[in-house]
Amino acid sequence: MVSYDPSLKRNQRLLCQKCLDSLQVSTKVEGFNKTLSTIQENHQNRVNSQQFLIEKSIQFIEPLQQEIQSIRDKFVNILDTIIKFTADWKMELQQISKKPMVLSFFAELESLVYRQQDNMQQVIFDQINKLNQTYSKSIINQLPIIKEDPFKEIELKLNNSEKMLNNEFLQFDFNVQIKNNKKSPISINLKEIKRVESEKGISHIIFDKTGQMMITINEGKIGVWKFASGNLEQQASWVAHQSDIKCAILSCNQNPYILTAADMTIKISLRINEMYWKSDFESQKLDNHIGCMIISRNEDYLFTSCENVISIWRLNYTQKKWLTFQYSLKQHKWAINAMSINKSENKLVSCSKNKQLIIWGLNKNNQWEYKYDVKQSILDIGNALYFLKDSQFILLSGELDTQDNVYVYEEQNEQFQEVLKKTLKLPKIKGDSSISPIVYIDQQQNILLISQKNDLYLILEKSDGSFYIIKQINRIIDIHQQSQSLAQDGKYLVYSKYDNRDNRNYLVVNEIQY
């Protein structure tokens, strides 16, 4: 039993039966298990309170971060445009100066004989003045946008952040949250709302950040689609490479572009309008084929892997230099299967075919360097990697005759370690493993999409940090033709599927109903 007598010391409040019989207890006495349950519930309330406030704060920060990033991109683009105007202005003037002025002796003599006024001076002035005025107006048209104050609304949001958090906190019922935590994991339904016949062999499906543009890759061909409320409409299609495209990235910049890797080259296709794209850049031939490719959040650095070497490139589309090689990372001994960079962009993880898992970090000169090999409980080939948080990543594995697993690694004492209790075992299916990127939507539902062999898995995180499968989808389709993606709001799933009833391939759009 437990005594609630405030006059007793801490170590005197736990009472045995003998104490109860010999002492005269005037204050509340309660069973030990009931008291323990109350203490644990109070502790869980504090844990839930902390987690709730952190989640609400992050939900406040993320759109703010995107808004600031958008403002930055807008200003950078405007300043780059102005810089380009001034460069073109200067170049056109220099071209005029380099062009020899025609001298006609007889024409000049005629002017002298008849004492005609020299009109050429005025022509020269008009030409240069017109050029100066044209570029001046072009630059002046950009200045009002810069003069705008886009930070007023952000400042208002920041000033009201405490009020917002306090309101959320007051409205939150932690007793209800405790009950919800004890419930079984949520389930979802997939409702097919669209099926579009497609070419056989689509290997990539990629959405932009808005969820309104989607691209598909089929061998060396790129397809661009408009996506609105689950409706698919193809807008453009062209052959970018003569051989199969191995990697593709859809830029989320204000002026979208597509990076593709094949033929031992990197190409960049730039959007001119909704219906037309043009090839704007092609790299020199590389030493080997690119295995995987990822881009930094600000889209200023590109990471590529050729066999066992990671190459880092500077990406600058505004100056039309596009790609400038920086340096290489050489520590893997076999070909690299996958890479992922964390949100803070200070850690990079890569895995290779010899079951090696490496962490890279930034040094004092802000350059990437080898840090350490991550220890694994079971040496397994990683087919895909993804940083879910700055201090957590997952590794998807699965060889021909082994168990398919999703391994979870978390940073502890500045070292990433495998969390064995969080390992998610996928149903064992015979067949070749697929190497497909993991898609993660870290808004609202924190939903994961992974592809393994012929199956798709939608995965969610439990309240205790472990993961569970909420939906498994089987597809009768060749491994090299697998493609799938989630719209960025997590409301739609699009994947390629072969229908053996009519012997056709389709892009299937499913609405995810939580």
Which pLDDT band, with edges at 50, 70 and 90, does 368 fall under?
very high
- Rounded to an integer, the average pLDDT of 499-506 is 80
Spatial CA neighbour of 471 closest among 513, 419, 423, 429: 513
Torsion on CA atoms 431, 436, 438, 441, rounded to nearest 10: -110
Query: 137-151, 279-293, 432-446: which range is least confident on average?
Result: 432-446
Task: Output the pLDDT for position 350.
Answer: 95
pLDDT of residue 310: 95
Q: In the structure encoding, which two tokens stand for residue 422, read together?
A: 């969080």
Residue 399 pLDDT: 64
pLDDT band for position 374 (cuts 50, 70, 90): very high
> Which domains does the chain show, CATH number per domain?
2-61 (no CATH), 66-179 (no CATH), 199-433 (2.130.10.10)
Residue 338 structure tokens = 């996958």
pLDDT at position 7, please?
A: 72
Average pLDDT on 33-62 reads 79
Q: Comparing 61-70, 346-355, 363-372, which segment has the lowest mean pLDDT?
A: 61-70
What 8-state DSSP symbol labels residue 166? H
Residues in the chain: 514
CA angle 111, 117, 119 (to 5 degrees): 100
Q: Does residue 225 register a pLDDT over 70?
A: yes
Ranked by mean pLDDT, the top range of 174-178, 190-194, 500-504 is 190-194
**% the chain with pLDDT above 70:** 84
| Residue 320: predicted pLDDT | 65
- The larger pLDDT score, comparing residue 403 to residue 271, is at 271
Predicted confidence at residue 480, as pLDDT, reads 46
What percentage of the chain reaches a pLDDT higher than 90?
Answer: 17
Q: Going by C-beta distance under 8 Å and a sequence separation of 6 or more, which residues neighbour residue 317? A: 251, 253, 255, 257, 268, 270
Q: How confident is the model at residue 183 (pLDDT cuts 50, 70, 90)?
A: very low
Least confidently predicted of 61-75, 210-224, 239-253, 330-344: 61-75
Highest mean pLDDT among 98-102, 167-171, 417-421, 450-454: 417-421
Checking if the pLDDT of 404 tops 70, the result is yes
Can you give the pTM of this predicted structure? Answer: 0.65
Whole-number pLDDT of residue 360: 96
User: Computed from CA positions of residues 272, 274, 275, 281, in that sequence, does the dihedral angle turn out positive or negative?
Assistant: positive
The rounded mean pLDDT for the chain is 81
Residue 306 has pLDDT above 80, yes or no: yes
Q: What is the pLDDT of residue 222?
A: 93
**3-class DSSP state for residue 115?**
coil
Query: At 39, is the pLDDT very low, low, confident or very high (cuts 50, 70, 90)?
Result: confident
**C-alpha span between 494 and 195 (Å, rounded):** 10
Lowest mean pLDDT among 346-360, 374-388, 463-477: 463-477
Q: Which of 13-22, 60-69, 76-85, 464-473 has the lowest mean pLDDT?
A: 13-22
**Tens-digit pLDDT profile for residues 108-138:** 777 776 666 566 777 788 888 888 888 888 8
Mean pLDDT of 91-119: 76
- As a whole number, mean pLDDT of residues 463-481 equals 72
Q: What is the pLDDT of residues 416-454, one digit of tens each?
A: 999 988 998 887 766 655 567 778 776 556 788 888 777
Q: How far apart are CA 310 and CA 248, in angstroms?
A: 17
**Mean per-residue pLDDT for 463-490?**
74
HEC profile for 361-416?
EECCCCCEEEEEECCCCCCCCEEEEEEEECCEEEEEECCCCCCCEEEEEEEECCEE
Model confidence at 178, in pLDDT bands (50, 70, 90)?
A: very low
**Ranges 58-72, 143-157, 409-423, 452-466, most confident:** 409-423
User: Which pLDDT score, from 0 to 100, does residue 150 have?
Assistant: 67
Quick one: pLDDT band at residue 270, thresholds 50, 70, 90?
confident
